[in-house]
Amino acid sequence: MHPATAKDKKPEGRGLRKREAEKMAAEESSILVGQKSVMNYVLATVIQFNQGVKRVSLKARGRAISKAVDAAEIVRTRFLPGNVDIAAVKIGSEKVGEPGKERVVSTIEIVLERK
Amino acid sequence: MHPATAKDKKPEGRGLRKREAEKMAAEESSILVGQKSVMNYVLATVIQFNQGVKRVSLKARGRAISKAVDAAEIVRTRFLPGNVDIAAVKIGSEKVGEPGKERVVSTIEIVLERK
């Protein structure tokens, strides 16, 4: 009976570890939108959602802000229509550059959430 | 008596109309961010707040989105620090162009609110 129990337990143990890993992954993920083309960030976001992540944050600074909005809208309306909500949009400012040469750039964070 | 009544009523009528106009102005105002330099929109926003408007919406499409965020952040951190909150940030999509040549552009609306 023991070998049978062991056999029964083995897949369960694996299942548990897998479920824990999924739980870790399932929480939150963040993508920094930069110089690449918008489709890179769209696909990165879709892949995250398909891997079970619940919330994906698109973050951008300066002129990449429009691209982050584009990526969020393309994911929401074309790739996963009806499955993704915009949970939050936050804007802010950040200081960049070396001391003495500091400038302020605007930032955005768009939180996409799987329904 | 009729002329006197008319005289008395005239300023009162004006006052009412003025107060109504102020009430209208005090609620909400919307600024479309486009091709001009960011300071144009910053100043337009500050003028609205100084005229007693409670909420100013900065709206932008496409690449002007970053500029709208810049304008909002400059108003909030440099021109009216501590007096203005970001009440809401909404993003969306809009179809533009003639039928057959339609394209989708992303939009943003940033609602700034006087404290």
Domain membership of residue B105 (yes or no) is yes
What's the first-to-final CA gap in chain B, in angstroms? 48
Tell me how many domains chain B contains. 1
What ipTM was assigned to the predicted interfaces of this complex? 0.77
Domain membership of residue B4 (yes or no) is no
Q: B1: which 2 tokens?
A: 């008596």
Q: B99: which 2 tokens?
A: 């039928």
Out of B62, B63, B86, whose CB is closest to A91? B86
- Give yes or no for a contact between A68 and A110, defined as CB atoms under 8 angstroms apart: yes
Cα–Cα distance, A85 to B88 (Å, whole number): 16
Tell me: the pLDDT tens digits for A15-38? 556 555 555 556 899 999 999 999
φ, ψ dihedrals at A31, nearest 5°: -120, 125
- What pLDDT sits at residue B85? 95
Domain membership of residue A3 (yes or no) is no
Tell me: the pLDDT tens digits for B44-101? 999 999 999 999 999 999 999 999 999 999 999 999 999 999 999 999 999 998 888 9
Q: What domain range is A35 assigned to? A: 16-114
Domain membership of residue B1 (yes or no) is no
- Chain A: closest CA distance from residue B73 (Å): 7
Which residues of chain A neighbour B77 with C-beta distances below 8 Å?
93, 104
- What pLDDT sits at residue B15? 55
- Give yes or no for a contact between A113 and A55, defined as CB atoms under 8 angstroms apart: yes
The pTM of this model reads: 0.78
Q: Is A58 on the interface with B (CB under 8 A)?
A: no
Handedness of CA B62, A48, A93, A85 (dihedral sign): positive
Chain B segment 69-108 residues within 8 A of A by beta carbon are 69-70, 72-73, 77, 86, 89-93, 104, 106, 108
Domain membership of residue A85 (yes or no) is yes
Q: Is B58 on the interface with A (CB under 8 A)?
A: no
Domain membership of residue A1 (yes or no) is no
CATH number at residue A102: 3.30.110.20
- Give yes or no for a contact between A110 and A69, defined as CB atoms under 8 angstroms apart: yes
- Pairs across A and B, CB distance < 8 A: 50
Tell me: the pLDDT tens digits for A46-89? 999 999 999 999 999 999 999 999 999 999 999 999 999 999 99
